[in-house]
Amino acid sequence: MKTQNSIYAALPVLFGFFVMGFCDIVGISSDYVQRTFDWSPVMTGFVPSLVFIWFLFLGIPVGNQMNKWGRKNTVLLSMGITVVGMLLPLVVYNSATCMIAYALLGIGNAILQVSLNPLLSNVVTSQRLLTSSLTAGQVIKAVSSLVGPEIVLLAVAHFGDDKWYYCFPILGFITLLSAIWLMATPVKREASSAATQQLSISDTFSLLKDKTILLLFLGIFFIVGVDVATNFISSKLMAERFDWTAEQVKFAPQVYFLSRTVGALLGAFLLARIAEMKYFRVNIVACIFSLLILAFVKNDMVNLICIGAVGFFASSVFSIIYSMALQARPEKANQISGLMITAVAGGGVVTPVIGFAIGTVGVIGGVFVTLACVCYLTYCAFGVKTAKA
């Protein structure tokens, strides 16, 4: 009976990961908003920043405040902000309201990322099942990332290019359903010894004095770097090496995302049966070999397989590192969650490094930047147990 109650409580939490994937509509929807308002490429390029910059600014403050608000209430707050943002262009449609809608989508998503992962630990008490459940959440998020652009295209197909923003109320409605489902589901509030304390940003950063937390914080930074880097260079590599056309190169990131989704799905099952550190080590070593083959073997099909292999083998690493961080200091789970989400934003630093490397030595430079990120993750996989403060 207790197991059934846990599953019942976990379902709406896991569905929240579907809402988490909505921020990935920013790519395709920005093309429509650019044509509608005749925005410059520079202005349009600012749209992703409106969505993702909030991870940097809100991660730690929200993690600290979550001690007072409670994880479930913080998740509901994030969904409320998202719903408001998604309905705004329907009420008043102009350039400013679209910008505000993107910002509210980003704010809601940042708060959701900080609060939803630790909320899952409220309903999944087994440490091994927690890592598996976090990976399952990443599968659901990946599916949402694939479905989100299709919702945009669905709105365009039914209402026309000038009504592309009708995708927003669709996303808002799904978010509202998710919030109502979670609100109606009893979730025991976590015990927090810090509930009455006034925590500061410096209090959270002081957790990095723990060598294990520091190692895992940088692990999140670099696994996001691997994700961004592989997605960024995959199409460029195939175009430069094999003169693939614009239509052909689109297939490379699709292979990467599909492989990442399949890998995360498999990981969700295997991590319930295999020790997370063993799974981490095997996959990250396989990831290194995939990148080495990608760097030195110039064959289009082999390279495409290697791009997919990187996505497959790296797919569960984020969940493993995140789970390990929560387990390392469970009494500081809210603060650690905020700290790890801040590292997600920091992973974007890898992109300009890749741009510099490509500009200096060509696309192979981007592959070696990705390899450097994986080398750190290998150090993390084999060094985290001995990195005690």
84-97 tens-digit pLDDT:
999 999 999 998 99
Q: Choose between 143 and 82: higher pLDDT.
A: 82
Q: Choose between 297 and 134: higher pLDDT.
A: 297
Q: Are 343 and 335 in contact (CB under 8 A)?
A: no
Both 236 and 367 in a single domain? yes
Q: What is the reported pLDDT for 173?
A: 96
Q: What is the reported pLDDT for 352?
A: 77
Both 16 and 102 in a single domain? yes
Q: What is the reported pLDDT for 5?
A: 60
Residue 356 lies in a domain: yes
Both 179 and 209 in a single domain? no
Last residue in a domain, options 183, 214, 240? 183
pLDDT tens sequence across 178-231: 999 999 998 888 776 444 456 778 888 899 999 999 999 999 999 988 987 887
Both 142 and 285 in a single domain? no
What is the rounded CA–CA span in Å between residue 74 and residue 270? 30
pLDDT band per the 50, 70, 90 thresholds, residue 385: low
Q: What is the reported pLDDT for 1?
A: 46
pLDDT tens sequence across 24-52: 787 678 778 878 888 776 677 677 677 87
Both 297 and 158 in a single domain? no
Check whether 389 has a pLDDT greater than 50. no
Both 377 and 289 in a single domain? yes
Q: How many CA atoms lie within 13 A of 226 on its CB side?
A: 33
Dihedral-angle region of residue 328 (phi above 0 means left; psi in -120 to 50 means alpha; beta otherwise): alpha
Residue 215 lies in a domain: yes
Task: Taking the CA atoms of 194, 195, 198 and 200 in sequence, report the sign of the dihedral they define.
Answer: positive
Residue 261 lies in a domain: yes
Mean pLDDT within 12-22: 92
Q: Choose between 371 and 236: higher pLDDT.
A: 371
Q: What is the reported pLDDT for 388?
A: 44
Both 177 and 218 in a single domain? no
| CATH number for the domain harbouring residue 21 | 1.20.1250.20
Both 219 and 81 in a single domain? no
Both 232 and 318 in a single domain? yes
Residue 196 lies in a domain: no
Residue 376 lies in a domain: yes
Both 126 and 205 in a single domain? no
Say how many domains are in the chain: 2
Report which listed range, 30-39, 41-50, 256-265, 304-313, is most confident: 304-313
pLDDT tens sequence across 371-382: 999 999 999 999
Residue 193 lies in a domain: no
Structure tokens at 80: 């409320």
Q: What is the reported pLDDT for 198?
A: 66
Candidate from 116-130, 139-153, 239-253, 339-353 with smallest mean pLDDT: 339-353
Last residue in a domain, options 135, 157, 183? 183
The three-point CA angle 343-21-62 to 5° equals 45
Check whether 347 has a pLDDT greater than 70. no
Helices (DSSP H) in the chain: which residue ranges? 2-20, 26-37, 41-52, 54-69, 71-91, 95-123, 127-159, 167-183, 201-205, 211-242, 246-249, 251-270, 276-296, 300-314, 317-328, 333-346, 350-361, 363-383
The three-point CA angle 234-155-100 to 5° equals 80
> Domain limits at 106?
1-183
Both 140 and 282 in a single domain? no
pLDDT tens sequence across 121-171: 888 877 777 778 888 888 898 888 778 878 888 888 898 888 889 999 999
- pTM, two decimals, is 0.79
Residue 195 lies in a domain: no
Q: Render the burial of 246-264: b for 16+ CB within 10 Å, e for the rest.
A: eeebeebbebbbebbbbbb
User: Over pLDDT 90: what percentage of the chain?
Assistant: 40
Check whether 235 has a pLDDT greater than 90. no
Average pLDDT score, the chain: 86
Residue 273 lies in a domain: yes
Both 242 and 155 in a single domain? no
pLDDT band per the 50, 70, 90 thresholds, residue 386: very low
Last residue in a domain, options 183, 217, 249? 183
Q: Choose between 250 and 180: higher pLDDT.
A: 180
